[in-house]
Chain A
Amino acid sequence: SAVISQKPSRDICQRGTSLTIQCQVDSQVTMMFWYRQQPGQSLTLIATANQGSEATYESGFVIDKFPISRPNLTFSTLTVSNMSPEDSSIYLCSVEGSGFLGYTFGSGTRLTVV
């Protein structure tokens, strides 16, 4: 299955600033997914990113708040814009596994907004 490198692993940010999270995959993938995991909760899909097209956002998430780039088949970024303490969460990227091996997740970015 694919190996995902996600950076940074954690960060503490001031409210009102933005943070860009990077996700690098060791193989070419069509779709990349971004999830949010709020403290003590499960994962919620933010958006699906396809190379060469705009990301598709789930209900409750908007491009102005969570802009996503997908410049090639192995890389994507998620930006958390104009952050508030409510954005404190773990953000994870994911790709579909090969051979029905499920979806692979990165190790996540633990974001704390103060």
Chain B
Amino acid sequence: EDQVTQSPEALRLQEGESSSLNCSYTVSGLRGLFWYRQDPGKGPEFLFTLYSAGEEKEKERLKATLTKKESFLHITAPKPEDSATYLCAVEAAGNKLTFGGGTRVLVKP
């Protein structure tokens, strides 16, 4: 059974304080690992797809990396608008996404 575990569950940061979110996974036949951002009352917003170990992708203050067992989402010099829940999901065969529990990030000014 595919499993995704995210840590920490919650993260409080001061503005400008860089940090990393972890996503550990076990899956048979990884087709892709996805990062999403979810704001309260909204659906998840797509951030990145990673396909193979060693791959990295960046978008503004966010950088996602992938190894064979885990992925990291690095937030560099965060701003209050980066406050959200960040979700990690893996895709195995059959277009099925398995999500982790998410990390709630709060960036205080």
Interface residues of A (CB under 8 A from B): 1, 4, 6, 31, 33, 41-45, 48, 58, 92, 94, 96-97, 100-108, 110
Whole-angstrom distance between the Cβ of A102 and the nearest chain B Cβ: 4
Cβ of B16 < 8 Å from any Cβ of A?
no
Known A-B contacts A42-B100, A42-B101; A105 and B49 likewise in contact (beta carbons under 8 Å) = no
B46 and A43 contacting across the interface, CB-CB below 8 Å: no
The chain A residue sitting closest to B51, CB to CB, is A100
- Known pairs A4-B43, A102-B32, A105-B44 / 20 extra A-B pairs, C-beta < 8 Å: A42-B87, A42-B100, A42-B101, A43-B44, A43-B87, A44-B99, A45-B96, A48-B94, A58-B96, A92-B43, A92-B44, A101-B46, A101-B49, A102-B48, A105-B36, A106-B43, A107-B42, A108-B41, A108-B43, A110-B41
The A-B contact count (CB < 8 A) is 55
B residues 29-64 in Cβ contact with A at 8 Å: 32, 34, 36, 41-46, 48-49
B102 and A42 contacting across the interface, CB-CB below 8 Å: yes
The chain B residue sitting closest to A104, CB to CB, is B46
The answer, among B43, B87, B95, for a CB contact under 8 Å with A107, is B43
CA distance A110 to B32 in the complex (A): 28
The answer, among B44, B96, B102, for a CB contact under 8 Å with A48, is B96
Known A-B contacts A42-B87, A43-B44, A110-B41; A102 and B95 likewise in contact (beta carbons under 8 Å) = no
